[in-house]
Amino acid sequence: MEQVRFKKSSYSGGSPEACVEVGLASEGVHVRDSKNTANAVTLTFGPAAWAAFMSSPSVAVPTSA
């Protein structure tokens, strides 16, 4: 996996038990648990799968970075 810069989700509500991090890469979007970043399992979503997920009515899309 290429070097990916992850960003913690702002929708975690400040709870360290329920945080995920998202990182953009050339092959898609990586998602991992923020509690154990060194050994975290990373899920990778292709561009079409990520776009479908983000367009889901149950996903709150941030309006700013």
Q: Which residues does 5 contact at the CB level (< 8 Å), separation at least 6?
A: 23, 24
Reported pTM? 0.68
Query: Contact at 8 Å (CB) between 32 and 40?
Result: yes
DSSP-assigned beta bridge partners for residue 61: none
Each residue's pLDDT, cut to its tens digit, for the chain (65 residues) gives 568 888 887 665 666 666 888 999 888 999 988 887 778 788 999 999 988 888 877 665 555 44
pLDDT of residue 65: 45
| Direct distance between the N- and C-terminal alpha carbons of the chain, in angstroms, rounded to an integer | 25
According to the model, what pLDDT value does residue 12 have? 59
